[in-house]
């Protein structure tokens, strides 16, 4: 019975991924075009940043993002192997500072539509990060990576690689439609300043609901 429920969940999740990503790409097309023009006018270089990441079962795929750094900027890595993000990073363009609240991730809707990613799931790591995996951290590759996830709505770049993996493993252990819905809604609070418009109570309730759903996974 549990196996049937798991299969049903993954079928429903894929169906939702396809429908929602397709609809969002249509609705957001004018904004995506405007962002593309902004990136192009702001600094020389391509509009998109393409990077190879690990997908489900370790299969590599090309992840799409809007470019937020000056073209040719070298990557910086923390001691744990994660990408290092500085508060006043000189590599980040003016347009990039605006986009880094989450808008730079929107092209990944194409990755979702192609079946390489899901709307909700663990963050997609580069192949080089595989060497830093310890023990059960490899379980992150059991599912498709997501545009958003528990780590993204609980600190994003402020978390260490170990902390991000802990959130990802908790999600994989307790993934459900209800948890996905909570994370999806929390993502909008991260993307848009809804708390400034009186939405802080709803944000707190969603956080509490998500924490209850994963409390047994710690």
The pLDDT, as a whole number, for residue 73 is: 80
Burial class of residue 65, CB neighbours in 10 A (0-12, 13-18, 19+):
middle
Phi-psi domain of 168 (left: phi exceeds 0; alpha: psi -120 through 50; beta: other):
alpha
pLDDT value at 218 more than 60: no
The pLDDT, as a whole number, for residue 212 is: 74
pLDDT value at 195 more than 70: no
**48-54/60-66 β-pairing:** antiparallel
pLDDT value at 31 more than 90: yes
Which residue segment(s) compose the domain that 114 sits in? 2-217
Lowest-pLDDT range, 107-116, 154-163, 209-218? Answer: 209-218
> pLDDT, tens digit, for every residue of 3-19?
666 778 889 999 999 99
> What does the DSSP 8-state code read for residue 107?
T
> pLDDT, tens digit, for every residue of 93-140?
999 999 988 899 999 999 999 999 999 999 898 887 777 787 777 888
Closest listed residue to residue 35, CA positions, set 76, 64, 74, 75 = 64
The domain total for the chain is 1
Give the pLDDT band (50/70/90) at residue 199.
Answer: low
Q: Which tokens is 80 given? A: 């744990």
CA dist., res. 45 & res. 72, Å (int): 9
The pLDDT, as a whole number, for residue 135 is: 75
Instruction: Give Cβ neighbours of residue 78 (< 8 Å, ≥ 6 apart).
Output: 84, 160, 161
Q: Tell me the residue ranges of DSSP E strands in 12-145.
A: 48-54, 60-66, 118-120
The DSSP bridge partners found for residue 110 are none
pLDDT value at 156 more than 90: no
Q: Which tokens is 25 given? A: 């790409």
pLDDT value at 217 more than 70: no
């Amino acid at each position: 019975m549990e196996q049937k429920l798991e299969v049903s969940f993954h079928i429903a999740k894929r169906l939702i991924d396809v429908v929602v990503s397709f609809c969002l790409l249509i609705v957001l097309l004018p904004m995506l075009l405007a962002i593309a023009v902004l990136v192009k006018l702001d600094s020389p270089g391509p509009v998109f940043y393409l990077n190879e990441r690990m997908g489900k079962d370790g299969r590599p795929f090309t992840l799409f993002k809007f470019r937020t750094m000056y073209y040719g900027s070298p990557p910086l890595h923390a001691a744990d192997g994660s990408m290092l993000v500085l508060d006043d990073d000189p590599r980040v363009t003016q347009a990039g500072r605006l986009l880094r609240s989450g808008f730079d991730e929107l092209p990944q809707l194409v990755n979702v539509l192609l079946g390489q990613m899901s709307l909700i799931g663990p963050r997609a790591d580069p192949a080089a990060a595989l060497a830093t995996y310890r023990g059960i951290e490899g379980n992150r590759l059991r599912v498709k990576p997501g545009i958003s996830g528990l780590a993204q709505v609980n600190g994003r770049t402020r978390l260490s690689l170990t902390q991000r993996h802990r959130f990802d493993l908790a999600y994989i252990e307790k993934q459900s439609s209800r948890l996905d819905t909570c994370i999806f809604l929390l993502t909008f609070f991260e993307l848009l300043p809804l708390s400034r418009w009186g939405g802080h109570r709803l944000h707190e309730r969603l956080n509490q609901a998500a924490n209850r759903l994963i409390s047994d996974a710690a």
